[in-house]
Amino acid sequence: RKEVEQDPGPFNVPEGATVAFNCTYSNSASQSFFWYRQDCRKEPKLLMSVYSSGNEDGRFTAQLNRASQYISLLIRDSKLSDSATYLCVVGGFNNDMRFGAGTRLTVKP
């Protein structure tokens, strides 16, 4: 079993749609959780950290369920500029990071 698993997609959605990505992790001792965004041929960039209480940043909402070892990202009112690969990242006690394979999103006009 992979340490961090994501639905690879691709997700093809129209502008304005709401899309949700899911991620599961295997190590119950994981300490920190993130969503990163990676554009084609670019480096990953932090989108948002994920907290147990859930957190929202504009059109983006992230949630963590430690009991189910499950992380989600919701994007509302999708924009063309949201097209990218979204990487789920899980950190251990020493902040040793494990990345999922990424979920590819394409937002179409």
Cis peptide before 10 (omega within 30 of 0): yes
* First-residue to last-residue Cα distance in the chain: 37
27 binds other proteins per the rule CB under 8 A: no
Which pair of structure tokens corresponds to residue 82? 């949201």
Footprint on residues 37-76 left by other proteins (CB under 8 A): 42-46, 49
Smallest gap from Cβ 15 to other proteins, in A, equals 26
Q: Taking CB under 8 A as the rule, does residue 80 contact other proteins?
A: no
Using rule CB under 8 A, residue 20 touches other proteins: no
| Shortest distance in whole angstroms from residue 94 CB to other proteins | 4
Residue 47: exposure state from Cβ atoms within 10 A (0-12, 13-18, ≥19):
buried
Q: What are the Cα distances from residue 1, in Å, to 5, 27, 98?
A: 9, 11, 13
Size of the site for other proteins (CB under 8 A): 23
Asked if 32 touches other proteins (CB under 8 A), the answer is yes
Which positions lie near other proteins, rule CB under 8 A?
Answer: 4, 6, 31-32, 34, 42-46, 49, 87, 91, 93-102
